[in-house]
Amino acid sequence: MADNPSTMFAFAIGIAARNARGEPLDCYFPAPLKDLEPAVAELVRGHFPAGTSATDGAGAGRFAEALDGAAGDGVAALAAACRRLAAADRPLSVVRLDEDGPIASTEEAYLKLHLLSHRLALPNSLNLDGIFASLPNVAWTSRGPVDIAELPETLVAARLAGEHLEVTGVDKFPRMTNYVVPTGVRIADASRIRLGAYLGEGTTVMHEGFVNFNAGALGPNMIEGRISQGVVVEANSDLGGGSSTMGTLSGGGGIRITIGSHCLIGANAGTGIPLGDRCTIEAGLYITAGTPLEVVDEHGEVVRTVKARELAGASDLLFVRDGRTGRVQCRTNRRAIELNEALHAHN
């Protein structure tokens, strides 16, 4: 981005919830933009400074007028959003990012999470340095975000007003569907999808499925297990009930886990190594980088023993446990895994 000053990495205008001290708790951006066209970037520069700033409803309305006739993906949606925001009787939050640098504010953190869930950026493609320091820990309630220090008084005030205030969680990340609902997906339990998750067209996430921020399924997929931070599941792969993938924030360390296309991770199984295409891990078997594997040829003979990390990223592998010896084996996967089309219908 720095080599071409006419371009701009990302821009958004939205509404922030704030605590009694005026500090942002979250930020909702109805129509963020990424990789702005030079003409649109120039319009943004003419109205707003770099970084995080504020405007009012009148400012949003003037910017909507300036966007009339401008071309580019998402520009019409941004103009429409600004026209709705023009009725705001409160300050609006503006984020202009000329480059994809480290996160410097709560609003910047929310913009990048929105970019992921709006499918404007793939997992692991954004600079998320500083995100945890920029996101406050918040009580998520039926009224929206509440500062944890202000929660006791908020609960009392709600009771006095005859209202039952429900606290659904205490976390840095909210549920995605309160901000973004991607097209063509099914989500059985919205509390298990964090803002910043990427759900591709045709993805189904069942009740026990979980998708972290900066992780996702490219679609179509059936997700009944856990997609940890940094993990990407490619098209036409299934995660069975109770299965898991090792994230880069936990035991995965610096290893980035990817699941290729047409893979199956069985119920209560998991992986700590990347998988290529058409791989299967049988139910109940967890493969880590250090797992000893017997490599078995097509005649059923053990040809060598390796650590699982030596097969990382390879395709057409079947991981099973020998029922007689208990040893983990790797064989050639001769059966392509195809998703049940009826289960993935979203009409």
Examine the pLDDT at 342 and tell me if it is beyond 50.
Answer: no
pLDDT of residue 335: 58
Structure-model confidence comparison of residues 69 and 47, the more confident one = 47
Please tell me whether residues 27 and 87 are part of one structural domain: yes
Give dist(CA 153, CA 203) in Å, integer. 41
Structure confidence at residue 327 (pLDDT) = 95
The reported pLDDT for the residue numbered 334 is 67
Which domain does 110 fall in, by range?
Answer: 8-134
Reply yes or no on whether 153 is catalytic: no
Number of domains within the chain: 3
Task: Say what the pLDDT of residue 5 is.
Answer: 63
Q: Is residue 225 part of a domain?
A: yes
Domain annotation covers residue 192? yes
User: Is residue 59 a part of any domain in this protein?
Assistant: yes
What is the DSSP annotation of 163-177?
----EEEEESS-BGG
What is the CATH number for 183? 2.160.10.10
Whether the per-residue pLDDT at 345 is higher than 60: the answer is: no
In this structure, the answer to whether residues 43 and 150 fall within a common structural domain is no
Same domain, 126 and 14: yes
Domain co-membership, 116 together with 205? no
Does residue 342 fall inside a structural domain? no
CA separation for the pair 250, 240 (Å, rounded): 21
Average pLDDT of the segment spanning 321-331: 93
pLDDT in tens, 187-223: 999 999 999 999 999 999 999 999 999 999 999 999 9
Asked whether residue 338 is domain-assigned, the answer is no
Buried/exposed code over 281-320 (b: 16+ C-beta within 10 A; e: otherwise): bbbebbbbbebebbbbeeeeeeeeeeebbebbeeebbbbb
List the single range of 150-164, 168-182, 329-343 with lowest mean pLDDT.
329-343
Q: Are residues 229 and 116 in the same domain?
A: no
Which of 241, 242, 275 shows the shortest CA–CA distance to 261? 275
pLDDT at 299: 81
Which one of the listed residues 153, 224, 310, 341 is annotated catalytic?
224
Residue 2 lies in a domain: no
Residues 202 and 76 in one domain: no
Same domain, 50 and 160: no
Structure tokens of 11?
A: 């821009």
The amino acid occupying position 81 is: A
CATH number of domain containing 29: 3.30.70.2010
pLDDT digits (tens, 9 = 90+) for 231-247: 999 999 999 999 999 98
Residue 340 lies in a domain: no
Each residue's pLDDT tens digit, 102-144? 999 999 999 999 999 999 999 999 999 999 999 999 999 999 9
